[in-house]
């Protein structure tokens, strides 16, 4: 398997317009016809993911993607291939993920090997059933603050952009749940931390897509590099402030006992008190890395999921209506969700899962193979190969999903549960799956339920969203909907 050269003198970066067929020798024995895609075809016009999905339809297991003669990756689009990779503990790909380190440090998202395992074991108690149970009311409160703000555009019958509002709500929720911190970010319009997180996400993805910016020096000297460092300072100051306030509160074990009597321990409490079998806790550097990682993954990805799910319901009023009827019957005159409610909204849950299928919050995950791998069909890859697991394509693979572009929540009904174990992986899978996926699903259930309980959503047909993979799944032009009071 040769990652760069196919034929003598072949300059892959010159490929234009359409994919080309090439034959790749894998271990000089097996010949496989793949799709060779010129990276220059990506135009950031909201159709790049659909272009990749079209190649995936032509080559439904995997295909290589080159960036000039510098970087190549095998794009995996079939659940059986994904299962083989997810079942291992290969490290994240250095290219791209390393660009995150100045921002979120070396937390769970970046770490690998024994250090990753130690951090994962220390942090896992923060997502225990008893801890998550206490968060539902807090998420309900944050959601209702957002919905109260929506009363104005509803009355004025003007379009509303979802990402902006849901991002603030998700940040508000995670600050309350994970750090017992009331930020007032939803009512503070020009929140510098939100702006910083958005800028950092945009700039990291911009750097990943630029050959020039792969040079740390050139990126550092560029206007984007200056903007990135400024945003990092804002994000780190925010994190340091939250940690310092909590450390001051938890000076000793007696203070921790007092806190337990007043409220449930939160994510930060557990991080500060976590100890391994040798009595060692997280260092200050590790602590900030895990806090920044959770702040990024815990609010940005959830924001994406909720926004796209609401868009799906706006596009499909028949399913939205059925969700509303289910929720109104459950809540009655209540305007908040409780822990016991989460398992009593089966149809809404199916809609959430279907929304995550069509629009996975993290559409792409990369791994660098630490040892050779052989797939179910006998095809093999050597150690050092970079693989890109494309959830957007796996979730649309027509060999697994009938009419994959159709929004059909009944795919997730009990009678239709007999599908491939890795056909639906919005939170990844295997040992490196998303540690906070239960927190995320709970927040999605609360936010979606309370939203459709209060409002009817319809799409702004003049401004359809243009999906864009930017670390998380965003839209180039946002997601715009109209609101009407629910009857």
Annotated binding site for heme: 434
DSSP classification of residue 461: T
CA distances from 109 to 77, 200, 401 (A): 22, 16, 30
Burial of 207 (0-12, 13-18, 19+ CB in 10 A): buried
Tell me if 323 sits within 8 A of 454, measured CB to CB: no
d(CA 237, CA 214): 27
CA distances from 91 to 79, 126, 201, 284, 432 (A): 20, 23, 21, 24, 9
Nearby residues of 410 by Cβ (< 8 Å), 6 or more positions away: 350, 416
Selection from 167, 141, 136, 180 nearest residue 344 by Cα: 136
Angle at the Cα of 295 from the Cα atoms of 290 and 298, rounded to 5 degrees: 105
Selection from 288, 276, 295 nearest residue 185 by Cα: 295
* Residue whose structure tokens are 């929304």: 355
Tell me if 450 sits within 8 A of 335, measured CB to CB: yes
Burial of 275 (0-12, 13-18, 19+ CB in 10 A): exposed
* H or E segment and range at residue 302: helix 284-315
DSSP 230-292: HHHHHHHHHHHHHHHHHHHH-SSHHHHHHHHHHS---HHHHHHH---TTS----HHHHHHHHH
Angle at the Cα of 54 from the Cα atoms of 50 and 56, rounded to 5 degrees: 110
Burial of 77 (0-12, 13-18, 19+ CB in 10 A): buried
Q: 23 forms bridges with which residues in the sheet? A: 33
Which residues are annotated binding-site positions?
434
DSSP classification of residue 92: B
Selection from 347, 356, 358 nearest residue 318 by Cα: 347
d(CA 39, CA 350): 36
Q: 33 forms bridges with which residues in the sheet? A: 23
């Amino acid at each position: 398997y040769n990652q760069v050269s196919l034929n003598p003198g072949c300059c892959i970066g010159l490929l234009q317009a359409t994919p080309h067929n090439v034959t790749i020798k894998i271990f000089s024995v097996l010949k496989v016809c793949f799709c060779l895609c010129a990276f220059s075809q990506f135009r950031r016009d909201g159709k790049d993911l659909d272009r990749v999905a079209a190649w995936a339809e032509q080559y439904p297991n995997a295909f290589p993607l080159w960036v000039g003669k510098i970087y190549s990756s095998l794009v995996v689009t079939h659940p059986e291939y994904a299962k083989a990779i997810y079942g291992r503990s290969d490290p994240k790909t250095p290219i791209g993920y390393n660009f995150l380190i100045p921002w979120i440090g070396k937390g769970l998202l970046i770490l690998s090997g024994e250090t990753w395992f130690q951090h994962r074991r220390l942090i896992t108690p923060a997502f225990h059933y008893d801890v998550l149970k206490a968060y539902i009311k807090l998420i309900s409160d944050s959601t209702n603050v957002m919905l109260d703000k929506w009363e104005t555009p509803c009355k004025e019958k003007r379009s509303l952009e979802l990402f902006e509002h849901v991002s603030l709500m998700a940040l508000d929720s995670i600050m309350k749940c994970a750090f017992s911190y009331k930020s007032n970010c939803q009512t503070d319009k020009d929140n510098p931390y939100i702006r910083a997180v958005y800028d950092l996400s945009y700039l990291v993805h911009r750097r990943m897509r630029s050959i020039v910016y792969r040079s740390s020096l050139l990126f550092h000297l560029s206007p984007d590099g200056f903007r990135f460092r400024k945003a990092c300072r804002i994000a780190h100051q925010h994190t340091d402030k939250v940690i310092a306030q909590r450390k001051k509160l938890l000076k000793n074990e007696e203070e921790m006992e007092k806190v337990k009597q007043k409220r449930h321990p939160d994510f930060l409490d557990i991080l500060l008190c976590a100890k391994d079998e040798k009595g060692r806790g997280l260092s200050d550097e590790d602590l900030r890395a895990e806090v920044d990682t959770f702040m990024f993954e815990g609010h940005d990805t959830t924001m994406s999921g909720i926004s796209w799910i609401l868009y799906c319901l706006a596009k499909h009023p028949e399913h939205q209506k059925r969700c509303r009827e289910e929720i109104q019957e459950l809540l009655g005159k209540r305007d908040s969700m409780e822990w016991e409610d989460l398992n009593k909204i089966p149809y809404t849950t199916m809609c959430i899962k279907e929304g995550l299928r069509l629009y996975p919050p993290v559409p792409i995950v990369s791994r660098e193979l630490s040892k050779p791998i052989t797939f179910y069909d006998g095809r093999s890859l050597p150690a050092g190969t970079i693989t890109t697991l494309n959830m957007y394509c796996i979730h649309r693979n027509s060999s697994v999903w009938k009419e994959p572009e159709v929004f059909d929540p009944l795919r997730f009904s009990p009678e239709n549960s007999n599908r491939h174990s890795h056909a639906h992986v919005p939170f990844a899978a295997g040992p490196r799956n998303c540690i906070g996926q239960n927190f995320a699903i709970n927040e999605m259930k609360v936010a979606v339920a309370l939203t459709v309980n209060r409002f009817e959503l319809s799409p702004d047909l003049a401004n359809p969203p243009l999906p864009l993979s930017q670390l998380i799944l965003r839209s180039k032009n946002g997601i715009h909907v109209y609101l009407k009071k629910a009857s």
